[in-house]
Structure 1
Amino acid sequence: MSAGSPTITPGSPPAAPPSNTVPPCREYDGTGPFPAEEPSAPRDHGERLYVTVTALIVVAPFLALGLACWLLWGRLVHPADIVLGLVLYTVTGLGVTVGFHRGLTHGGYRAVRPLRVALAVAGSMSFQGDVIGWVATHRRHHAFTDRPGDPHSPYRYGTHLRGQLRGLLHAHIGWLFRSNHTPPARYAPDLLADRDIRAVSRAFPALCLLTLALPFGLGWAIGGTWTHALTALLWAGLVRIALLHHVTWSVNSLCHVIGHRPFRTRRHDRATNLWPLALLSFGESWHNLHHADPTSARHGVDRGQLDPSAAVIRAFELIGWVSDVRWPTPERVTARRL
């Protein structure tokens, strides 16, 4: 653990990082653009490679979505492609929401070791970055939500129309291409100290290959032809990744601009509940309650709010694979309600 890093115990929320990790926030009034950052040094070869790989990860699945639409117009899709896509979307999506987010980032429960590692592997197969980098970035987002220091706030360029539109693009996808590194030693020292999680993090490139090889191989095994293998790769691989990407990024962007805010959050924090994304995001779009009570294992707390991630955590709890679950109590929910 590096000097000045927050102390994080398993099952506990991460401590807020020291304020000197970002520009002073006293100049920010909540409506104007974020104070200008100091100019960054020219990108070296490693940073240019990072941007190139990021562009490939972002653009390739999106192009595949366009290709898939064209192929669908020609009826070139098989039932196995859809089934494989749904299964892999569910497994990798829950790896992000239950594993990366509610478990590793916020300590909403304590998982047995094999499940903890399995969820980290599943989340890594979503193509959203290595597990330690993902957790560090999200903890930083919570430490500085919608104010200077937030890596993907839609309010970065102000609250006027032009700034808001630019901010939505930044929060959705633009932040991925900025040279704005989040140091894991400061934001995720607990994961850096975890040998198994470090191994999963190092295996991220191989897991990206695996998440594409699986649908290709299964498509070949089920259909027995190159055509079946390639359409499975397209639909259950690239299109599935693109859809999950944009659902996750929509929580970063839309769920801070559009929707309802029934719960009290910190100053400047504008996290909202956006019901149309609830099922696709496995309950993550009940984002207002999450920011009001980040360690809660359930985000959808009101009647009719579907939260599949919470249901999965409950199932794991019933069979003894997780414990110390931080379920919301009526008193905590009432105390945070506006």
Structure 2
Amino acid sequence: MTMQAGAAPTMAAQKPPAQVSATLGGEKQGMAERITLGLFIAVPFLALLAAVPVAWGWGLGWTDVAIATVMYFVSCHGITVGYHRYFTHGSFKAARPLRIAMAVAGSLAVEGPLVRWVADHRKHHRFSDKEGDPHSPWRYGESVPALVKGLFWAHMGWLFDEEQTPQHKYAPDLIADPAIRRVSRLFWLWTALSLLIPPVVGGLVAMSWQGALSAFFWGSLVRIALLHHVTWSINSICHAVGERPFKSRDRSGNVWWLAVLSCGESWHNLHHADPTSARHGVLRGQVDSSARLIRWFERAGWATDVRWPGAERIDARRAV
């Protein structure tokens, strides 16, 4: 099956050809891949730990703040609007240029190739907080030691699991789209651009190597690490604590203090109660910048058939 331009993704699709499945549907993670993954997690994380002393001793310029902020929210919304609400759940239909742009923007977050990310998340929803969930914090039980272990697993431990989600099973619609398949395969290129754009811009603005190095530290390493841990907190923290005003078959909760940095993803209880909803923050005062961006796309004519949750739909999902 080949997806038509602008069509929203769907879980139902024909199994792709064998050669495509062999390339994108692997179920084992090799040692080299795990070592590379470890480096891409550890190096930005060390930069995040060094951020406070570096800012105190070396300084943090407004150029660095601007570059890091722009890169953070471009890549964050690429994940939340693109990878998550569009490609995973089909919350709206998108014009072809927007579809490709969202795929690339999400790749700049350096959270993995698009097809793999979507497959993992669809599997998570199928087995949420039950056996088979790739990253439930309740994996080891409900005692305090078990939950501590489970939180680490849900946050980042699962990324190193040798067993990988079969992509041909959970994301056949994306594999069947040649353009999206190509974007996913070029993840190495988007990673390189994500790392290089900040120092190039910072160096040109400051016209110095010091400006480039500072922008690389803040706009590349610190920004990527912060976004990684905010995203992973949705898997760990938002499935362990938080308010649950809506009915869901798992333990997803709303964590308000993550709302801005997660671009609205931490209103996680509503998301699991209504996965295809284009808005996650549906109650008064719940900031959801991803929903706002989708609204702008809709007004521009780039997004159609947006699944906005009406009052009746929201009330039907409220917890008794």
Query: How high is the TM-score relative to the length of structure 2?
Result: 0.92
Q: Deviations over 1:235-255 (max 9, x none)?
A: 011000000000000000000
Counterpart amino acid of residue 105 in structure 2? A
1:11: which partner in 2? 8
- 8 Å CA contact 1:76–1:231 kept in 2: the answer is no
Counterpart pick for 2:44 among 31, 42, 61: 61
Q: Is 1:141 matched up with 2:124?
A: yes
Counterparts in 2 of 1:1-338, with a 5 A limit? 10-11=7-8, 14=11, 47-266=30-249, 269-338=250-319
* Post-superposition offset of 1:330: 1.1
Total equivalences in the alignment? 302
* Post-superposition offset of 1:73: 1.8
* Post-superposition offset of 1:79: 1.1
* Post-superposition offset of 1:15: 5.6
RMSD: 1.7
- 8 Å CA contact 2:93–2:303 kept in 1: the answer is yes
- 8 Å CA contact 2:259–2:265 kept in 1: the answer is yes
Counterpart amino acid of residue 306 in structure 1? V
Q: Deviations over 1:23-43 (max 9, x none)?
A: xxxxxxxxxxxxxxxxxxxx9
Q: Whole-Å Cα distance in 1 between the matches of residues 12 and 242 of structure 2?
A: 28
Change (3 A) 1:15 1:276: farther
Q: Whole-Å Cα distance in 2 between the matches of residues 119 and 257 of structure 1?
A: 30
SS of equivalent to 1:89: helix
Q: Whole-Å Cα distance in 2 between the matches of residues 312 and 203 of structure 1?
A: 26
Q: Whole-Å Cα distance in 2 between the matches of residues 12 and 198 of structure 1?
A: 13
SS of equivalent to 2:30: helix
Q: Whole-Å Cα distance in 2 between the matches of residues 120 and 251 of structure 1?
A: 20
Q: Whole-Å Cα distance in 2 between the matches of residues 330 and 79 of structure 1?
A: 42
Q: Whole-Å Cα distance in 1 between the matches of residues 289 and 280 of structure 2?
A: 10
Q: Identify unmatched segments of 5+ residues in structure 2.
A: 14-26
Q: Deviations over 1:116-140 (max 9, x none)?
A: 1001101001010000000000000
Q: Deviations over 1:246-282 (max 9, x none)?
A: 000000000011110010112xx10001100001100
* Post-superposition offset of 1:11: 3.3
* Post-superposition offset of 1:10: 4.2
2:24: which partner in 1? none
Query: How high is the TM-score relative to the length of structure 1?
Result: 0.87
Q: Identify unmatched segments of 5+ residues in structure 1.
A: 2-8, 17-42
- 8 Å CA contact 1:261–1:288 kept in 2: the answer is yes
- 8 Å CA contact 1:13–1:295 kept in 2: the answer is no
- 8 Å CA contact 1:99–1:120 kept in 2: the answer is yes
Q: Deviations over 1:88-129 (max 9, x none)?
A: 001000000000000000000000000010011010010100
Q: Which ranges of 4 or more aligned residues in structure 1 deviate by more than 3 Å?
A: 9-13
2:22: which partner in 1? none
Q: Deviations over 1:142-172 (max 9, x none)?
A: 0000001000000000011110111001000
- 8 Å CA contact 2:84–2:118 kept in 1: the answer is yes
- 8 Å CA contact 2:255–2:266 kept in 1: the answer is yes
Q: What's the % identity of the aligned pairs?
A: 52
* Post-superposition offset of 1:13: 5.2
